[in-house]
Amino acid sequence: MITSVQALILGIVEGITEFLPISSTGHLILAGEWLGIGGESVKAFEVIIQAGALLAVLGLYRNRIGEMWQGVVGKDADGRRLLMNLFISFLPAVVVGLLFHGWIKENLFHRSAVTGALAIGGIFMIVVDRILPPHPVPLSLFSMTYSQALLIGLAQVLSLWPGTSRAMVTLVAAMLLGFPATAAAEYSFLLALPTLGAAALFDFAKNGSVLFSDVTLFSFLSGFATAGIVAAVSIRFLIHYLTKHGLALFGWYRIGLAVLVWGLIR
């Protein structure tokens, strides 16, 4: 049974880490072990708090989502192109995730795999931060080509390894393609909607019955609301931070966390 306090903590962890390039799945695995909870009930509860985090994106980027809807009905060519790019970026992770979902859950959802991914991702971010030009060409989301969208989607496949971070690989991939940090972050946030939404529906279909038996209504609502509120703050923070600073801080944080957790394992 997940208590209301545990639900609150997990909601805070999800809200902080979902859109920062530090791996929400990795942090939730570590937080669950620290709280002494695990199993199918926690996996099912993650669906709820992920939905809360996605609600923050829907609220903050409602105008952009409106443009994509206008594109669907033939009134906004830029919105239609952005929607098509998101669909292209979304597909690779769906295909690989469906093929290897069981193997990933069975073999990679543990501390050793998470800490390794955190450390490698941290080193990668520090290297990328050094090689990126300080003032990239100001590309916009509407100038993204289908091939660039596919490359970002292929990068997102790497995030199926817990601890890698979906936000990190999509953000860095877009920046390496020449998009400024703010545009890259926005694309990463928008790509979370279909990617995490589909994953949440898939997990809910598998573990939904466990959720309602192990989580009270108050825990359900507190985790959902907390994740949404904290995620909105995290998104605002990341956009503000990236306009003035680089990726190195997040890389060093990942390495430090990996070393700390690895020391506790030993």
Read off the tokens for 134. 């300080």
C-alpha 224/C-alpha 50 separation (Å) is 8
Instruction: State the burial class of residue 243 (Cβ atoms within 10 Å of its Cβ: 0-12, 13-18, 19+).
Output: exposed
Dihedral in degrees, nearest 10, Cα atoms 189, 191, 194, 195:
-100
> For the residues of 29-42, what is the DSSP string, one character each?
HHHHHHHT--SHHH
C-alpha 89/C-alpha 57 separation (Å) is 17
C-alpha 97/C-alpha 86 separation (Å) is 17
Q: Which pLDDT score is estimated for 207? A: 67
> pLDDT (tens digit, 0 to 9) for every residue of the chain, 266 residues total?
788 899 999 999 999 999 999 999 889 888 888 888 866 667 778 878 988 999 999 999 999 999 999 999 999 999 999 999 999 999 999 999 999 988 988 888 888 899 999 999 999 999 999 998 776 667 889 999 999 999 999 999 999 999 999 999 999 999 999 998 899 999 999 999 999 888 888 877 776 666 667 677 888 889 999 999 999 999 999 999 998 888 999 999 999 999 988 876 55
Helix (H) or strand (E) holding 73: none
Instruction: Check: CB of residue 92 under 8 Å from CB of residue 150.
Output: yes
**CA-based radius of gyration for the chain:** 18
Count CB-CB contacts under 10 A for residue 197.
15
Which residue has 């605002």 as its token pair?
236
Read off the tokens for 119. 């450390």
Q: Which domain holds residue 93?
A: 4-265
Q: Three-state DSSP class for 215?
A: strand
- Alpha carbons within 13 angstroms on the beta-carbon side of residue 148 total 20
What phi and psi values does residue 132 have, to the nearest 5 degrees?
-70, 140
Q: Three-state DSSP class for 2?
A: strand
Q: Which pLDDT score is estimated for 264? A: 67
C-alpha 46/C-alpha 27 separation (Å) is 12
Count CB-CB contacts under 10 A for residue 242.
19
C-alpha 29/C-alpha 197 separation (Å) is 19
Separation in Å, CA 135 to CA 1, 169, 189, 238:
50, 20, 22, 18
Read off the tokens for 79. 């919105």
Q: Three-state DSSP class for 60?
A: helix
Counting the structural domains of the chain, the total is 1
C-alpha 254/C-alpha 48 separation (Å) is 25
Separation in Å, CA 164 to CA 57, 98, 157, 247:
21, 18, 10, 15
What phi and psi values does residue 2 have, to the nearest 5 degrees?
-90, 120
Q: Which pLDDT score is estimated for 59? A: 95
